[in-house]
Structure 1
Amino acid sequence: MSSWGALWRRGHLGTEADRATFRTLHTALLASPPLREGLSPAAAERSLKHLRALLGTPAVAMTDTSRTLAWDGGHPGHASQPSTVAAGTLTHGRTVVVDGEDVTCADPACVVRQAIVAPLEVEEKVVGTLQVFTSHASAGLVRATNEVARWVSGQLELAELDASRTRLMEAEVRALRAQISPHFIYNSLTAIASFTRTDPERARELLLDLAEFTRYSFRRHGEFTTLAEELRSIEAYLVIEKARFGDRLAVTVRVAPEVLPVVVPFLCLQPLVENAVRHGLEGKPGRGEISILAHDADHECVVTIEDNGVGEDPERVRRALAGDPATDSVGLANVDERLRAAFGDEYGLVVETAQGAGARVVVRLPKFRPGVHL
């Protein structure tokens, strides 16, 4: 074998320090996913075995502000102690070393003599403790415990951000429902009532379309849906609007079959279609046209919603996207914010319009995004 090959074989994994660093990072990586779920017994139990391996100590524990969440290691005589030894750290927010009666047990062979208790903090508030049970709380081990507790706190902060984002998205969808439903339902019932005597069968079909629309719009599960489901609801909406407008409304829908399974934020297109009808076509004399096109663009799906309505002042659209309630634009800012939150700032709405020139809204959707799923 050549000398180069021998050198590669000896050194391709790096020095011992490199390998130690890799093991540490790998162990931390294993502990991360459960911690990203938040501070709970299940998350603590799944993460503690990796944290104990990281610290190399006989036992570790995790608490919230009122109870022991999990214990990992032998030494069962100490498993009841975390809630007691956590008190000082929970009160003062400082790392402490506890010994004496608070960490004694009945087993004379037990090596545990001390516990290092470090605070876990989220948004500068102590939410729990990480505890290391050891034979000797050296200065190095105390520093290591502090650093691991800070890293755990960072993971818990990310979990709280995820939870806050979910709560915000749910609140935004509730607000969007409240904004859409009064306008549409009133108009729908008026249109259906006009057919109850002259065309009862059509009135029945329109009621079914209204039921489909409300079933979808007021469902209680899922932040995301498929493009196919969103378009099905839009179709029900447009059937009712066509009944109201009659020959004054023409609708064109062209969708590439391969993009139907693309995952999209719930109610991300329907408000745009309603906006086109309410603000673009209701005030237009003569025939109104609206087109919904969706095509495959490599790693993206591009949806275009276009109308030939009265158009809008671009400055007013800018204010609508900024969330100005005076613009009365159904959910425009809401949809833009949720698209950016789900996929990144490069996926916000693109609106092209001018007074008297209709409007065109382009929505780009990635076919895949980590963390975005049904």
Structure 2
Amino acid sequence: MEKVLYNLCSALKKKSIDIEIITFYINKDNNNILKQFKEFNVIYKPLYVPRINDKQRNLFSSFIKFFNSIYFLKRYIKLNNNNIIVALDPWAIDSCIIAKGFKKLPKIYGWLHFPIDVYSKHKLWKIHKFFIKRLNGILAICNGIKSQLVNEGIDENKILISYNPMGFLKDFYIKEALNPTFIYVGRLKNQPKRLDLLLDAFSKLKKYNWKVKIIGDGEDKEYLEELAKTKGINHRIEWCGFIDDPWSFIHEATALLLTSDYEGFPTVLIEANWYGIPVISTDCPTGPKEIVVEGLNGTLVKKGNSEDLAEKIKKVIRGEIKFATKEEIRKTTERYHSDYVVEKILDFIN
């Protein structure tokens, strides 16, 4: 989500539009992520709460943080002449709508990055939905999320399908690997990324020639490394760690893998396609099916099914599944170019 926000902000800056980014959470991870935003005006407003016992902590902390954020936003709106605020999650939407009160400006838009059924499982979803209905508009990052919003009673006329902007990628192609080489790029968090399925699938293909490069870091790295050892395949996996520019690091690839249980709109698939790499992705409820064109830029597998994943990987290794040329694969990314996406957003909010 942070990367997509950066791509959007960069495209807006290119059009000489002033941007401020407000964040209420400060921790080690966020500080590392937000280093990329150094060219923008980032307002840090940490919401600290007093130390209390564990049983009360979650509810009390949420209550205090929520009202502190409203107080800060009310002052911010009063002191600034912003025309538009874009809130990136239900909690932020609630705070912005309440802080705005009955003022005509700023207009408040929502930009949700996960499937609605992820949000709707939360016990406060009915409250969130009340405020979402009062937005000036909502940016839905794919058709699937738009359909989910409409099913929740959100006015269809308030929703714009706005795919995640691709960002400014380098103009080169990554070579097809001589020996089957599969790539994963992303956070090492087993839920919802389901890297255990990836490892299980490859453990069924030990007789074939392949290797896997896993680029990324996260809280489940040690667990996944141990799982790979248990399955007897760790010697064929290269754990590359976090890399700022993974596409310059990858010199050759057969396909990029995405094994998630759910995604909003996985930009990593689009970026891989830009560099001419086909993708093998689980058919999440939203996202991949709108990116992947079977037999052209990739193929889909059943969600949560390592057998189906192993079968598709095997067919790719054996040449039974073939994809288009790198130039044709790149052409499928044209509708995600930042300039095109930003023009759509600007037309919508204006």
Same fold (TM over 0.5): no
- Scaled by the length of structure 2, the TM-score of the pair is 0.28
Q: Which of structures 1 and 2 has the larger relative contact order (alpha carbons within 8 angstroms, sep 6+)? A: 2
Instruction: Name the structure with the higher strand share.
Output: 1
Q: Of the two, which has the highest radius of gyration? A: 1
Higher share of residues assigned helix? 1
